[in-house]
Chain A
Amino acid sequence: MTAMTDNTTHAHAHAPVAHAAQPAAEAHGQQHPIKLYLLVWTLLFVLSACSYLVDYFDFHGLLRWTLIVVFMLLKAGLIVAVFMHMAWERLALVVAILAPPLAVLVLMAMMAWEGEYTNFLRVFFFGA
Chain B
Amino acid sequence: MTAEHVTTEHAMTEQTLRSRVLGVMADWSSDQRSFKSASWGKAMMWIFLVSDTFVFSCFLISYMTVRMSTTVEWPHPSEIFALDIGGKKIPLILIAIMTFDLITSSGTMAMAVNFAYARERKKAAILMLVTAFFGAAFVGMQAFEWTKLIHEGVRPWGNPFGAAQFGSSFFMITGFHGFHVSIGVIFLLIVARAVWRGDYDVGRPGFFTSRKGRYEIVEIMGLYWHFVDLVWVFIFAFFYLW
Contact across chains for A97 and B37 when beta carbons are under 8 A apart: no
Q: Which listed segment binds A: B26-34, B139-147, B167-175?
A: B26-34
Query: In which size bucket is the chain B interface?
Result: 35 or more
Known contacts A4-B26, A79-B230, A80-B230, A101 near B57 by CB under 8 Å: yes
Q: Is A25 an interface residue (CB 8 A)?
A: yes
Q: CB-CB < 8 A to A31: which residues of B?
A: 114, 117-118
Bits for B25-66, please: 1 = Cβ < 8 Å to A, else 0: 111001110111111000100110110011001100110111
Contact across chains for B71 and A48 when beta carbons are under 8 A apart: no
Q: CB-CB < 8 A to B222: which residues of A?
A: 83-84
Q: Is B22 an interface residue (CB 8 A)?
A: yes
Tell me which of A22, A34, A79 contacts B36 (CB under 8 A).
Answer: A22
Q: CB-CB < 8 A to A79: which residues of B?
A: 106, 226, 229-230, 233
Q: Is B223 an interface residue (CB 8 A)?
A: yes
Known contacts A48-B99, A101-B53, A83 near B110 by CB under 8 Å: yes
Known contacts A18-B36, A93-B43, A122-B69, A52 near B31 by CB under 8 Å: no
Q: Is B113 an interface residue (CB 8 A)?
A: yes
Contact across chains for B117 and A4 when beta carbons are under 8 A apart: no
Q: Count A-B contacts at CB 8 Å.
A: 193
Bound form: Cα–Cα A28–B30 in Å: 26
Tell me which of A22, A34, A55 contacts B92 (CB under 8 A).
Answer: A55
Q: Is A108 an interface residue (CB 8 A)?
A: yes
B126 CB, min distance to chain A CBs, angstroms: 15
Tell me which of B43, B61, B233 contacts A107 (CB under 8 A).
Answer: B61
Known contacts A101-B54, A112-B64, A68 near B36 by CB under 8 Å: no
Q: CB-CB < 8 A to A96: which residues of B?
A: 34-35, 46
Tell me which of A8, A38, A100 contacts B107 (CB under 8 A).
Answer: A38
| Chain B residue nearest in CB terms to A31 | B117
Bits for B106-150, please: 1 = Cβ < 8 Å to A, else 0: 110111011001100000000000000000000000000000000
Tell me which of A8, A75, A122 contacts B30 (CB under 8 A).
Answer: A8
Task: Offer 19 A-B interface pairs, CB within 8 angstroms, sorted by A.
Answer: A7-B22, A7-B27, A15-B31, A26-B37, A29-B216, A34-B114, A83-B226, A84-B226, A85-B219, A93-B34, A93-B37, A96-B34, A97-B46, A97-B50, A101-B50, A108-B57, A115-B67, A115-B69, A116-B69
List 14 additional contacts besides A93-B34, A101-B57; criterion CB under 8 Å. Answer: A7-B27, A11-B32, A12-B30, A15-B30, A30-B219, A48-B236, A65-B242, A76-B233, A79-B230, A108-B57, A108-B61, A122-B69, A122-B70, A128-B72
